Amino acid sequence: MFVSSRWYTRPILYVADMDRALAHYTGALGFTVAWRYDDAGRTEVAQVDRAGCELILSCQDSMKAGPGRIFVSLDREMLEAARRELEGKGVAVREERWGYRTMVVADPDGNELFFPYPREE
**CA Rg value for the chain:** 15
Measured CA to CA, the distance from residue 105 to residue 99 in angstroms comes to 17
Measured CA to CA, the distance from residue 110 to residue 121 in angstroms comes to 33
Domains of the chain: 12-116 (3.10.180.10)
What's the predicted TM-score (pTM) here?
Answer: 0.87
Instruction: Write down the mean pLDDT value for the chain.
Output: 92
Per-residue pLDDT tens, the chain, 121 aa: give them: 566 678 888 999 999 999 999 999 999 999 999 999 999 999 999 999 999 999 999 998 877 887 899 999 999 999 999 999 999 999 999 999 988 999 999 999 999 999 999 886 5
